[in-house]
Structure 1
Amino acid sequence: MDDRRTSSTDADVLVAGLLFFDAVFADLPHGPVLGQEHWTPHFAWTPGGIANFAIAAARLGASTDVAAVVGDDELSGLCRAALAREGIGTALLHRAPGWSIPVSACMGYDGDRAIITGGTAAPVPLPELLPAQGGRVAALHVDETTADWVRTSASRGLRVFADVGWDATGTWDPALLDAVDGAYAFTPNDREAMAYTRTDDARAAARALAERVPLSVVTLGGDGVVAVDSSTGEEVVAPPVRVHAVDATGAGDVFCAALAVASLEDRPLRERIDFAALVAAITVSRPGGAATAPRRDELAPWLAANPAAADRDRYGFVTTGLPAATAAPAGRAR
Structure 2
Amino acid sequence: MSHADWKKGRDAVQPLDTKAAARASAHVDQLTKPLGSLGRLEKLAVQLAAITGEPAPAVAPPGILVFAADHGVASEGVSAYPQEVTAQMVANFAHGGAAINVFGRQIGALLHVVDVGVATDVDAPGVWSKKVRYGTASMLRKWAMSREEAEQSLQVGYESAEALFAEGAKLLIVGEMGIGNTTASSAMLAALTETEPDQLVGRGTGVCDEKWERKKAVVKEALALHQPNPADPLDVLAKVGGLEIGAMAGAIICAAARRVPVLLDGFISTVAALLAVRLCPAAADYLLAGHRSQEPGHAHVLATLGQEPLIDLGLRLGEGSGAAVAFPIVESATRMLREMATFASAGVSNR
TM-score over 0.5 for the alignment?
A: no
TM-score between both structures, scaled by the size of structure 2: 0.27
Bigger radius of gyration: 2
Q: Which has the higher contact order (CA 8 A, sep 6+)?
A: 2
Which is strand-richer, 1 or 2?
Answer: 1
Which is helix-richer, 1 or 2?
Answer: 2
TM-score between both structures, scaled by the size of structure 1: 0.28
